Structure 1
């Protein structure tokens, strides 16, 4: 499964309301094991108990050998627990005698939740162990994504609980959200531009911005991004990122340098789970319609070329912002001829689901662009949002929705 789709799938398992972290974890692990799209046959949850300096088995499900309920493993006798704090996920040979007697020879494990102090280092709050058909290095990427998604669900639950106790701050959160978003419409030389963003909750992590400096009026930067957090924390993260972008543009940074610095800023300021995907576009009055862009793990924007009736996708030129501080970002170019339309969107559009769980999907978005590219940017945005809402019908939106359209009109 595509890693981003895997992340979204795991994230959706933990999106319901739960009374405790343990309830959330048990539900997520059960859903992972039951999912036909994830090749995992069984799983166990281990919880760290500081008083005993041990991990205790609290849940097991699927096609696995059943262990004694509440079985404990001291951290001091099992160095893997410390290795997980550094590596997040691991494949290793079993060393615990009881587990070996139970037929466990090799295992996979990943740490989730917050880290807590142990000795001179740290250990994870929880460890998830999974049973695959084949245990080899290829599953580590899946385990890392599971760890990031589950940890983010736990963190979001804590944030949401705090948010409920801080309802008086809702107006302040709304003002944060609005401060990130510009006026939706803009005309810039040959281009008609329009954007719209709808939060799934009171506030959200999608953002877009148009940035132009007074001393360089012939250059317009357009940014569209999606913070992986939810609710209040996502709105604050979006504000932080947009602020960094505006500052970088004011100092006339090259696009690649700006993307690199924003990546390091997100890495220093937020946890790995609070990553950001972002598309950066630069427009000028270039007569040929040359545009420059850099794509940090974001959905591939779509360009409809009128002359040859063809669709072009602007693929990622670098990884997501945050988890990979040494990442570099290429700058690519595309050409917008008169009548061509560029659609930049977040996954809340393509992954919007109807009450039966069916996605709106990228193929439908492609068809919509082909059928409606003659509209103005504003009309296209508004009709697309209506089409997505119609697809969702009465289903509650699971994610924020943002779309920015750039059309060359002359």
Structure 2
């Protein structure tokens, strides 16, 4: 399953009604074990005890022998827990004889919730472990996404509980977010741009920006990013990522190096909510139309070719920003001819739902783009947003929505 779609799937599961955070974890455990997409045969949730020396089994699902209720494992018997504290997710061999008798020989485990201080190293509040016929790298990445999504959800619940105390600051937060967004329209050396970002809540995790690269004024970066979260937590990370990009662009850093540094900063600063998808394209004033871009796990921007009336998708050139330290990001080059235009958008556009739960979808978006081929960048953006908003007006679930249209006009 695509990383971004997997994250959204888990996020939708966690939106189901639940009175406690443990119930949220149990809902996810049941859905993951039951779904053939995840390809696991059983799973367990372990909760750190108040003594911080043991984990207690609080839930189990799947076609495996049941572990006795209230069973605990000692932290000291599992050196692998120190690796989990550092890397969140591990693939491991079970060493507990009782669990091995239950048919658990190999497992993948991921940390969930806040990390607390243990006797020798930090420990997650919860561990979610899964058994499968094949314990491989795909399961590792799947669990990493699940752990991150659940941690973000639990953290958000705590923030939401505190939000009533912060109500007087909401207007200030919304105003602050507006400051990180540039003016909607921008012109640069034969290109015109127009962007709109609409948060699902008062503040959100989407943003776009136009960045002057270096001091010579001959290059411009256009970025659209989506923090995989909502509300205040997402806005805080968006502020940080936006500022880091502006600073990095000012030093004329190579694009691949800029993405790698940004990734490592996000990994270090946001240990609980560290997913960012991002598309960055750099324009030049030399009139050639050649542009360098990096797609870090983001939706593929839609490129409309004016001469051939055809569509190209600028696929991912690197992973999501944040999940893994020292990730590598490649760049690619695209040439924009006169009247070609690029629509860069976040998944709140393509995944917008109508009241029946049907997604707007990439195919519908592409057809709408084709209809608007003779419009200006401003008109394209505004009419696309308008169409999506009408489509999703009665939906129960929604997300931040951002579109930036970049058109070569000379």
Query: Structures share a fold, TM > 0.5?
Result: yes
* Other-structure match for 1:45: 45
* Other-structure match for 2:104: 104
Conserved? CA contact 2:210–2:222, under 8 Å: yes
Alpha-carbon distance in 2 for matches of 1:222, 1:185: 12
Conserved? CA contact 2:151–2:272, under 8 Å: no
Greater mean alpha carbon deviation, residues 95-104 or residues 346-355: 95-104
Conserved? CA contact 1:229–1:274, under 8 Å: no
1:67-102 deviation digits (Å, cap 9, x = unpaired): 222122222234444443244333434333333343
Alpha-carbon distance in 1 for matches of 2:323, 2:87: 13
Deviation at 1:177, TM superposition (A): 1.1
Conserved? CA contact 1:107–1:131, under 8 Å: yes
* Other-structure match for 2:194: 194
Greater mean alpha carbon deviation, residues 280-289 or residues 144-153: 280-289
Note closer, same or farther for the CA distance 1:78–1:330 as it changes in structure 2 (3 Å cut). Answer: closer
Alpha-carbon distance in 1 for matches of 2:256, 2:135: 39
* Other-structure match for 1:256: 256
Conserved? CA contact 1:197–1:403, under 8 Å: yes
Greater mean alpha carbon deviation, residues 230-239 or residues 25-34: 25-34
Alpha-carbon distance in 2 for matches of 1:404, 1:337: 18
TM-score (norm: length of structure 2): 0.92
RMSD: 2.3
Deviation at 1:181, TM superposition (A): 0.9
* Other-structure match for 1:369: 369
Greater mean alpha carbon deviation, residues 166-175 or residues 330-339: 330-339
Alpha-carbon distance in 1 for matches of 2:242, 2:58: 42
- The unaligned stretches of length 5 or more in structure 1 are none
Aligned ranges 1:74-223 → 2 under 5 Å: 74-212=74-212, 215-223=215-223
Deviation at 1:52, TM superposition (A): 6.5
TM-score (norm: length of structure 1): 0.92
* Other-structure match for 1:70: 70
Note closer, same or farther for the CA distance 1:139–1:246 as it changes in structure 2 (3 Å cut). Answer: closer
1:118-166 deviation digits (Å, cap 9, x = unpaired): 2211222111122334444542222222222222222222222222331
Alpha-carbon distance in 1 for matches of 2:355, 2:36: 20
* Other-structure match for 1:307: 307
Runs of 4 or more consecutive aligned structure 1 residues displaced over 4 Å after TM superposition: none
* Other-structure match for 2:406: 406
